[in-house]
Amino acid sequence: MRQDAAGYFYFVDRVGDTFRWRGENVSTSEVADAIAGCRGVRDVAVFGIEVPHTDGRAGMAALVVDPDFDLASLRTELIARLPECARPVFVRIVPGLELTGTLKLNKQTLVARGIDPAQTTDALYFDDRKLGAYVKLDAKLHERLNAGTVRV
């Protein structure tokens, strides 16, 4: 939390399974449930990540998928199921999801890797809303996101 000059308190970040994006509180479990119901998705972890030059945390989904998984179909299904603020801005395709000792999803490792393609061999995608599609997040796009020249 932070306190302004008038003494009012504001949430800056929340501990647990929510994150704040575009002025809205987003429930990771609500997003994960919507994604889990999509064709070709075997397992999912949803979390918020910091992106330079933005307020709050952008949604990211780490997905374990079937061989016939289609990213365009996922995007179409999510538009029908979730409000814009809750739809993942970033998607990471992973071979599996790690669990903690208490059998909870280990999101901390995924959050730490962020959106830098140099930090992972996982396929990363960015929801380019101008194009209306998830596009491959490569080093060049990552650099533009960090510079703030691509609107998130």
The CATH number of the domain holding residue 30 is 3.30.300.30
Domain tally for the chain?
1
Q: How confident is the model at residue 104, as a pLDDT?
A: 80
Q: Do residues 88 and 127 touch, judged by C-beta distance below 8 A? A: yes
Confidence category of residue 13, pLDDT binned at 50, 70, 90: very low
> Is residue 24 within 8 Å of 85, Cβ to Cβ?
yes
- The mean per-residue pLDDT over the stretch 61-85 comes to 97
Q: Give residue 38's pLDDT.
A: 97
Q: In whole angstroms, give the CA distance from residue 66 to residue 49.
A: 25
Note down the domain range covering 108.
6-147
32: in domain: yes
Q: Which residues contact 152 (CB under 8 A, 6 or more apart)?
A: 51, 53, 54, 58, 89, 145
Report pTM.
0.86
Residue 1, in any domain of the structure: no
